Structure 1
């Protein structure tokens, strides 16, 4: 990271960004090339170990790529605001972001899928939910096991 003064290293600050963001963009590759897909997500943070959870219909390009259990990159950001100035070059943009990479894998069992869906719904709604088996059976759920991640903030006034 070029701007070390903007790097976020404290886990509580990184988790605050995770809590604030409502979408993650996942970059993957398949035989057709590179692609990026925005998705709602949930997460589990155990110590410094971060796992992101996403869900999808059971078919499609991203699902096929994610089922390959390959390395993906991800990005999420929040806290957007334009900081205006008297000159064009004096303008700036505030944000907080997290970027990283890891291996994405499909969750196979009902128990794993329900746990992943539970993490997503808890993150998005702030509460716990029950999931009917029939709905879980029709849903693809993935865990992105993060191997490296970093945070960045440009919030200074």
Structure 2
């Protein structure tokens, strides 16, 4: 990281940022260009979770290559100045690499959905097999994390 003074290294702070985010941007391998998609998520125990349809481009790509890159932007504020060269952005973001595991059993989907809903403040949600039969959940096992902040 070129601007090392902006790097967040403390794992507890990194974990706290993962708990605060609202959406995650996922970069998936595709040809001739990568595929980028934004999803809601939940975080627990070094893993991110999201849900999706059981068919489609996202799932097809994850089956071909489960390695993903992700980004969570927690703050992004343009700061204007009198001189163009003095403009800046106040930001905090977390990026990382993860290995995706597609979850197909009702028990896995139920747990993942509870983590996702808990992330947004709705705890103790129940999900029946009928509710989960036409969807999948994906667990992203975090391999690496980095974070930067330009907030003072």
| Deviation for aligned residue 1:6 | 0.6
Deviations 1:65-113, CA, capped at 9 Å, x for gaps: 1233521111111122122222111111111111111211101221111
Separation (CA, whole Å) in 2 of partners of 1:77 and 1:29: 21
> What are the ranges of 5 or more consecutive residues in structure 2 without an aligned counterpart?
none
Instruction: Tell me what 1:118 maps to.
Output: 114
Q: Provide the aligned C-alpha RMSD in A.
A: 1.5
Instruction: Tell me what 1:104 maps to.
Output: 100
Separation (CA, whole Å) in 1 of partners of 2:86 and 2:26: 32
Separation (CA, whole Å) in 1 of partners of 2:72 and 2:11: 16
Instruction: Tell me what 2:30 maps to.
Output: 30
Query: Residue 138 of structure 2 is aligned with which of 142, 149, 154?
Result: 142
Alignment of 1:8-157 (within 5 A): 8-30=8-30, 33-45=33-45, 50-68=46-64, 70-156=66-152
Query: How many corresponding residue pairs?
Result: 152
Separation (CA, whole Å) in 2 of partners of 1:102 and 1:112: 18
The change in CA–CA distance for 1:27 and 1:119 in structure 2 (over 3 A counts) is same
Give 3-state SS (helix, strand or coil) of 2:107's partner: helix
Question: Conserved in 2, the CA contact under 8 Å of 1:68 and 1:105?
Answer: no
Separation (CA, whole Å) in 1 of partners of 2:122 and 2:16: 14
Question: Conserved in 2, the CA contact under 8 Å of 1:69 and 1:106?
Answer: no
Which segment drifts farther, 119-128 or 107-116? 119-128
> What are the ranges of 5 or more consecutive residues in structure 1 without an aligned counterpart?
none
| Deviation for aligned residue 1:24 | 0.5
Give 3-state SS (helix, strand or coil) of 1:128's partner: coil
State the TM-score, normalizing by the size of structure 1: 0.89
Question: Conserved in 2, the CA contact under 8 Å of 1:23 and 1:41?
Answer: yes
